[in-house]
Amino acid sequence: MTDIVPGPTLPSPALQLLSETGIVLLRFETGLDTGALCLVRTGLGPFTVITAGSILPLTLGYTLSHCLFSKKGTLGH
């Protein structure tokens, strides 16, 4: 995460390790607090959004790179 955010980096590798460990533990705890029954009650809508949010960018990225960089594409001479 520190590589994405502009600005100064963390002052030490130990602090970076602690921050990354904290993020992993927070996500794990959030997953423990979310019950399966809660997920079933939400229905198909959130599942559809998650699936589309994962597959659509991958598909579009692959298609765009294939069109741009293939031998028959405009940039692949």
User: Around 38, how many Cα atoms within 13 Å sit in the side-chain half-sphere?
Assistant: 6
pLDDT at 36: 72
* Per-residue CA distances from 6 to 1, 9, 13, 19, 20 (Å): 10, 8, 18, 17, 17
* Per-residue CA distances from 28 to 5, 47, 65 (Å): 23, 20, 35
| pLDDT tens sequence for the chain (77 residues) | 555 655 565 567 888 888 889 998 988 887 777 777 877 788 888 888 888 988 999 999 999 988 888 766 555 54
What's the pTM value of the predicted model, to 2 decimals? 0.42
pLDDT at 11: 67
Burial of 55 (0-12, 13-18, 19+ CB in 10 A): exposed
